[in-house]
Structure 1
Amino acid sequence: MTQAAIELAGLKKRFGDNEIIRGVDLAVREHERHALIGPNGAGKSTLFHLISGLYTPSAGDILLNGRSIGGLPPHLITRRGLSRSFQITTIFPRLSVQENLRIAAMSKHGRRYALFSLARNAKEVNRDTDQLMELVRLSHVRDKFAGDLTYSEQRALEIGMAMGPGADVILLDEPMAGMSREETHYMIDLIRNVTVGKTLLVVEHDMEVVFSLCDRISVLVYGELIATGRPDDIRSNARVQEAYLGEVVA
Structure 2
Amino acid sequence: MSSALHLDGLRKSFGKTEIIRGVNLEIPRGERHAIIGPNGAGKSTLFNLITGRFPPTSGKVRLHGHDVTGLAPFQINRMGLSRSFQITNIFPRMSVFENVRCSLLWAQGYRYSFWNLVSRSRALTEGTHRILDQINLTARAELPAGVLSYAEQRALEIGITIAGGADVIMLDEPTAGMSHSETDYIVDLIRTVTEDKTLVMVEHDMGVVFDLADRISVLVYGEIIATGSPEQVRANPRVQEAYLGAALEAEH
Q: Say yes or no: TM over 0.5.
A: yes
Residue 109 of structure 1, CA deviation: 2.3
Asked whether the equivalents of residues 235 and 249 of structure 1 are also in contact (C-alpha less than 8 Å), the reply is no
Is 1:73 the counterpart of 2:39? The answer is no
> Percent identity between the aligned chains?
55
Is 1:136 the counterpart of 2:115? The answer is no
RMSD between aligned residues: 1.9
Asked whether the equivalents of residues 32 and 198 of structure 2 are also in contact (C-alpha less than 8 Å), the reply is yes
Structure 1 residues 119 and 160: alpha-carbon distance in aligned structure 2, compared to 1, 3 A threshold: closer
**Which amino acid letter does the alignment assign opposite residue 84 of structure 1?**
R
Match of 1:188 in 2: 187
Is 1:158 the counterpart of 2:173? The answer is no
Taking structure 2 as the reference length, the TM-score comes to 0.94
**Which amino acid letter does the alignment assign opposite residue 246 of structure 1?**
G
Residue 123 of structure 1, CA deviation: 2.2
Is 1:127 the counterpart of 2:114? The answer is no
In structure 2, C-alpha distance between the alignment counterparts of 1:248 and 1:43, rounded to whole Å: 17
In structure 1, C-alpha distance between the alignment counterparts of 2:111 and 2:220, rounded to whole Å: 43
Match of 1:219 in 2: 218
Match of 1:84 in 2: 83
Structure 1 residues 85 and 22: alpha-carbon distance in aligned structure 2, compared to 1, 3 A threshold: same
Match of 1:205 in 2: 204
In structure 1, C-alpha distance between the alignment counterparts of 2:180 and 2:85, rounded to whole Å: 21
Structure 1 residues 56 and 189: alpha-carbon distance in aligned structure 2, compared to 1, 3 A threshold: same
Asked whether the equivalents of residues 105 and 111 of structure 2 are also in contact (C-alpha less than 8 Å), the reply is no
Matching of residues 1-250 of structure 1 within 5 Å: 2-110=1-109, 122-249=121-248
Residue 186 of structure 1, CA deviation: 1.2
Residue 127 of structure 1, CA deviation: 1.6
3-state SS in 1 of match to 2:106: helix
In structure 1, C-alpha distance between the alignment counterparts of 2:5 and 2:233, rounded to whole Å: 21
In structure 1, C-alpha distance between the alignment counterparts of 2:199 and 2:19, rounded to whole Å: 23
3-state SS in 1 of match to 2:121: helix
Q: Could you list the per-position Cα deviations for residues 206-229 of structure 1 after superposition, in whole angstroms to 9, with x for gaps in the alignment? A: 000000011000000000000000
Q: Could you list the per-position Cα deviations for residues 96-122 of structure 1 after superposition, in whole angstroms to 9, with x for gaps in the alignment? A: 100000001112124667699878992
Asked whether the equivalents of residues 118 and 124 of structure 2 are also in contact (C-alpha less than 8 Å), the reply is no
In structure 2, C-alpha distance between the alignment counterparts of 1:198 and 1:12, rounded to whole Å: 27
Taking structure 1 as the reference length, the TM-score comes to 0.95
Structure 1 residues 113 and 127: alpha-carbon distance in aligned structure 2, compared to 1, 3 A threshold: farther
Matched residue count: 249
Gaps of 5+ in 2: none
Asked whether the equivalents of residues 119 and 125 of structure 2 are also in contact (C-alpha less than 8 Å), the reply is no
**Which amino acid letter does the alignment assign opposite residue 98 of structure 2?**
E
In structure 1, C-alpha distance between the alignment counterparts of 2:40 and 2:2, rounded to whole Å: 30
Gaps of 5+ in 1: none
Residue 91 of structure 1, CA deviation: 0.4
In structure 2, C-alpha distance between the alignment counterparts of 1:81 and 1:204, rounded to whole Å: 22
Higher mean C-alpha displacement, 202-211 vs 120-129: 120-129
**After the TM superposition, which parts of structure 1 deviate over 3 Å for at least 4 consecutive aligned residues?**
110-121, 247-250
In structure 1, C-alpha distance between the alignment counterparts of 2:118 and 2:38, rounded to whole Å: 50
Structure 1 residues 242 and 21: alpha-carbon distance in aligned structure 2, compared to 1, 3 A threshold: same
In structure 1, C-alpha distance between the alignment counterparts of 2:138 and 2:169, rounded to whole Å: 22
Q: Could you list the per-position Cα deviations for residues 52-96 of structure 1 after superposition, in whole angstroms to 9, with x for gaps in the alignment? A: 110001100000000011100011001000000000001000011
Asked whether the equivalents of residues 107 and 164 of structure 1 are also in contact (C-alpha less than 8 Å), the reply is no
